[in-house]
Copies of this chain bind each other. A is one copy, B any other.
């Protein structure tokens, strides 16, 4: 079963969960209360996030606190890196050059 970081952040609910627990660890119940989904649904999302190591658990009594493994988010950043080179600095100039060429053509 395909399960990587990109697949993990594809779901909007999952992105919301990520944003939620980024700064503060939370239990599945607490997370579920922030959305209009069931605890089980959140639990499954957490399971997926765990599988691709975007989240780490910490048992505390009968409660399990989930916290974001922020470092893993770097993988996305790393992939984005190659395009950042394009859109930053030189690209905007190149783009205007190209569109100038285009508009001056007819």
Residues of A within 8 A of B (CB): 2, 4, 6-7, 9-10, 12, 15, 19, 22-23, 68, 70-71, 73-74, 76-77, 79-80, 82-84, 86-87, 91
Contact = CB atoms under 8 A, between A and B. Distances in A.
Given A6-B9, A9-B6, A12-B2, A22 B82 contact: yes
Chain A facing B: main interface SS: helix
Contacts of A23: 86
Most chain B C-beta atoms within 10 Å of own C-beta, residue among A9, A12, A19, A68: A9
Contacts of A73: 80, 83, 87
A83 B75 CA distance: 12
Contacts of A87: 70-71, 73-74
